[in-house]
Chain A
Amino acid sequence: MELEEMQTVWSELSGQLEKQKKLTDKMIIMMTQEKYRSQLNRIAYPEMIGTVICYGAGLFILININRLDNWYTMLSGITTLIVLFVLPVLSLRSINKMRKVNIAANNYKETLLEYAKSKKQFKNGMKWGYYLGFVLMFTIMPVTTKLINNKDFFEGTKSVWPFFISIPLAIVFFIVFSKWVFKNYSKSMNSAESLIKDLEATD
């Protein structure tokens, strides 16, 4: 379709839309009210729920930290605590950045630049979240075994065979999954980076 034809179709669409105006005063006033912004406020819910879970679990470990009575459960506990507090910061930081965009004052170029930058930041956060999640998968086991069942994860295990099977399996899973994650990651990072480069190069 040539540009001229596109313009013809567009003006025909504009004409049709002009003929069938549907909005009433009441509908417009309703849309100006915060409570009618149906879906938007729900977007951050998964992150908020995740934050509550992470901080709740972190708090539980923190309160019971003196029960981690040997060096390896203590080390796992501290690592778990760090991961549980850092993970939500990574995702909430990018949401906050999105909310700071000044829609009324920015021009399209500025908004697009912020969009591309926060996309980059979000993807970076995702990458680190993925690494930290993997660390958490291992460190949380001895901590919860101790705090919930009052057992030493390593001493309580009679056979080492489950470790020989589960650890390589987890590593294989990590490698396969990370290949998939980073394929998607580099594609979207490249598009964000080229958009930033393109916009910053223009006057």
Chain B
Amino acid sequence: MSKKYEFTRIIKEHEGVIFKITTIYTNNQEDQKDLYQEIVYQLWKAFDSFRGDAKISTWMYRVALNTAITRLKKEKRRGNQIGIDKVIMQQTEQYDTEFEERLKILYAHIKGLNELEKGLMLLLLEGKKYEEIAVITGLSPSNVGTRISRIKQKLKTQIIKN
């Protein structure tokens, strides 16, 4: 199996994951598209270094989240920020208005978190176990648990405020 073939198969399999990461870390469609391309590019560059001793999804989340963070540095320097509702409208074609509204609230909650919490929240929503989140983030599983409890608390406070 050729390297290119294997790579495109993996990207196609995880394209939704990359999309969700780009939505959380950007505020407009143009930046989202750029970040998507950058993540695929960085994954390709790192593909040879992936030795299969970790799960492909773990490796992928790590590279994608790292790319999003380094991109954030550049993003802030450019100071080009647009509201999130412009992005949500263009995500998928089929969902209803009620779902869109709930999605909007969800994004607003996530974007209210700091960068570390944002990453943890994303992985939690993706259904990752504390151990896998620990491998991706470099925190210990117990620390992941503590921080997730804090995030839950923070979310509750946000609800009360709203």
Contact = CB atoms under 8 A, between A and B. Distances in A.
Interface of A: 1-3, 5-7, 9-14, 16-23, 25, 28-29, 31-34, 36-40, 43, 98, 101, 103-112, 115, 118-119, 122, 191, 195, 198-199, 202-203
Given A1-B106, A25-B8, A107-B136, A32 B41 contact: yes
A88 to B, nearest CB: 15
A14 B20 contact: yes
B62 A107 contact: yes
Given A28-B7, A28-B40, A112-B116, A9 B20 contact: no
22 contacts: A1-B106, A2-B159, A6-B125, A7-B125, A10-B20, A10-B106, A11-B127, A13-B20, A14-B126, A16-B95, A17-B15, A18-B16, A20-B94, A21-B16, A25-B8, A31-B36, A37-B38, A103-B63, A108-B69, A109-B116, A119-B73, A203-B139
A38 B155 CA distance: 36
B131 interface: no
Q: Top 6 nearest A-B pairs by Cβ distance?
A: A107-B138, A104-B46, A17-B16, A109-B138, A32-B44, A31-B40
Given A1-B109, A13-B103, A16-B92, A103 B46 contact: yes
A5 B155 CA distance: 12
Interface string B11-33: 11001100110000000001100
Contacts of A43: 74, 77-78
Given A17-B92, A110-B138, A119-B73, A23 B143 contact: no
A1 B34 contact: no
Contacts, number: 166
A22 B46 CA distance: 23
Q: How large is the interface on B (under 10, 10 to 19, 20 to 34, 35 or more residues)?
A: 35 or more
A131 B119 CA distance: 37
Interface of B: 4, 7-8, 11-12, 15-16, 19-20, 30-31, 34, 36-38, 40-42, 44-46, 49, 62-63, 65-67, 69-74, 76-78, 91-95, 99, 102-103, 105-106, 109, 114-116, 119, 125-127, 135-140, 143, 152, 155-156, 159
B69 A112 contact: yes
B112 to A, nearest CB: 11
A40 B74 CA distance: 8
Given A14-B20, A31-B36, A111-B69, 4 more contacts: A20-B92, A25-B12, A104-B45, A122-B77
A199 to B, nearest CB: 7
A111 B49 contact: no
Contacts of B155: 1-3, 6
A29 B4 CA distance: 8
Contact of A115 (B16, B45, B69, B94): B69
A116 B66 CA distance: 13
Contacts of B62: 106-108
A2 to B, nearest CB: 7
B12 A23 contact: yes
Contacts of B91: 13
B99 to A, nearest CB: 7
Nearest to A7: B125
A14 B143 CA distance: 27
